[in-house]
Structure 1
Amino acid sequence: MDEIKEKIAAHHLLISRVRKEIGKALVGQQNLVDGLLTGLLSGGHVLIEGVPGLAKTSAVMALASTVQADFKRIQFTPDLLPADLVGTEIYRPKMGDFITRKGPLFNNIILADEINRAPSKVQSALLEAMQEKQVTIGDTTYPLPDPFLVLATQNPIEQEGTYTLPEAQVDRFMLKILIDYPDRSQELEILKKTGFAHHESIEPVVTPVELKEMADLIREIYVDDKLKEYIVDLVFATRNPSKYGMDIGGHVAFGASPRATLFLAQAARVSAFLQGRAYVTPQDIKNTAPDVLRHRIILSFEAEAEEITSDDIIHILFDSVAVP
């Protein structure tokens, strides 16, 4: 344990530098930064939802700039085709053969901007890439680079010309982060920084090798057996709420999948790492559970009619499931 603590302390300085560089382009939004770092350090994809103008794209680009890795931004539009993502085979008449032109998915960090603007066949093209870390072009399957991370944004208020993400694809995202407007002091700082000061360039501070070292270290962070049971109980309570004394009146149509259990344990370990600890606490689980569970709890029509959100269900979960 002492050896792990020393390694965490050394790498924690590197994370502090990453936060400092991101702070050059982003004011506040601590939950968003923590969520992006969680995805980066665990290799989990992140879906960011918020109204326009909240620096969703800027935050992702700032994070990508701190990593010495290949980055590609893809603007999703209704006329996008699957080949625009994965690539295609091109026929060469003079040579009489085909060559493969790889698409933008063959980069380490992908920003899928306004992902819900592309039709379902394009969104489905991401499924194999996000889950299997590979894509198929023609008859050949190509592995994607390591690390491979999809950071997607979507706008919740403008529904014209958008396509709802299928549940199968939403479940591929480790986290769904909701962001809101900054407070008055933060907005004043944004004004001063972007409107009356020179833009500071963001320096890369982390290499893919260092990312892998941190990911390996995070897997060694201690999780007590009682906390493992707590994680399983939280997920099981979304499927069988009555067994945990939850009176939610049939508001949940489908609970979280086993993937939620795995992701919640991963996210809790990253939360401990970001705070410089070699062990997970119940608070780490509570801090990360909303982002892991909110897009995996499928609400019933009754819940939607009563304007009950998945976050409301998660609050009831915390009150009903005993903390070890």
Structure 2
Amino acid sequence: SVTAAGHYHKLEEPFFVLATQNPIEQEGTYPLPEAQLDRFMFNVWVDYPTYEEELAVVRATTSSVSATVNSVMEAEEILFFQNLVRRIPVADHVLEYAVKLAVRTRPVADAPEIVGKYISWGAGPRASQNLVLGAKCHALLQGKYAPDEEDVRAVALPILRHRIVRNYRAEAEGYSVEKIIEAIL
């Protein structure tokens, strides 16, 4: 579901919300508090296109030719795969690794030194949930029957990136969230 300008909109399955932020204005057009950012599973960085990609975009968007969009999958198929991901088993040690990874981002007494030094707020329980779901999906896409710790590490950056708040010291010393996540992996 989505609430915009005070109006509630229920999304039919399998639809979901995709939001964008302008990296130049780091908070985006409308700044979102951390509690709302936490509701997004991933924060994916999209880099500049290559010359060839940009050339293709410009050709496609500056002519009178209209693009044809073909269906890749029916809604029922998407729902099938969403349910399949939820049914994939996860070994206890992988589940524990995902939760420990999220916990390691929190600036508490026994946190890693880099976390205590540079983070003012760490990832919450939704991060643990999303690390497990993301790892299951990653494993499935890799042709595996169950995720391992490597699958958790593979999805950690886009899942944790927007859930960690750096402190002033991190900003002053140029420690990015990405660098901190890399250090705790």
* TM interval, short-chain normalised: 0.7 to 0.9
Residues 21 and 29 in structure 2, CA contact (< 8 A), matched pair in contact too: no
Q: Distance in 2 between matches of 1:255 and 1:170?
A: 13
User: How do residues 184-223 of structure 1 correspond to structure 2 at under 5 angstroms?
Assistant: 186-192=50-56, 194-195=58-59, 201-223=68-90
Residues 106 and 115 in structure 2, CA contact (< 8 A), matched pair in contact too: no
How many pairs align? 180
Displacement after TM superposition at 1:307 (Å) = 2.0
Letter in 1 for 2:144: R
Q: Distance in 2 between matches of 1:175 and 1:214?
A: 18
Q: Tell which structure's C-alpha radius of gyration is larger.
A: 1
Residue 122 of structure 2 corresponds to residue 251 of structure 1:
no
Q: Distance in 2 between matches of 1:202 and 1:283?
A: 35
Distance 1:188 1:297, change over 3 A: same
Displacement after TM superposition at 1:248 (Å) = 4.4
Q: Distance in 2 between matches of 1:268 and 1:151?
A: 20
Pick one of 78, 91, 101 that aligns with 1:224: 91
Q: Distance in 1 between matches of 2:45 and 2:173?
A: 21
4+ long deviations beyond 4 Å: 196-200
Q: Distance in 1 between matches of 2:41 and 2:108?
A: 23
Residues 105 and 111 in structure 2, CA contact (< 8 A), matched pair in contact too: no
Pick one of 314, 319, 324 that aligns with 2:181: 314
Q: Distance in 2 between matches of 1:203 and 1:214?
A: 20
Residues 122 and 164 in structure 2, CA contact (< 8 A), matched pair in contact too: yes
Distance 1:308 1:278, change over 3 A: same
Residue 31 of structure 2 corresponds to residue 154 of structure 1:
no
Pick one of 144, 163, 167 that aligns with 1:300: 167
Residue 140 of structure 2 corresponds to residue 276 of structure 1:
no
Per the normalisation by structure 1, the TM-score is: 0.50
Q: Distance in 1 between matches of 2:35 and 2:160?
A: 14
Indicate the structure with greater strand content: 1
Residues 118 and 170 in structure 2, CA contact (< 8 A), matched pair in contact too: yes
Q: Distance in 1 between matches of 2:67 and 2:29?
A: 35
Equivalent position of 1:285 in the other structure: 152
Structure 2: runs of 5 or more not aligned = none
Structure 1: runs of 5 or more not aligned = 1-44, 46-80, 87-134, 136-141, 319-324
Letter in 1 for 2:157: P
Displacement after TM superposition at 1:249 (Å) = 5.0
Identity of aligned residues (%): 38
Q: Distance in 2 between matches of 1:163 and 1:172?
A: 16
Letter in 1 for 2:110: K
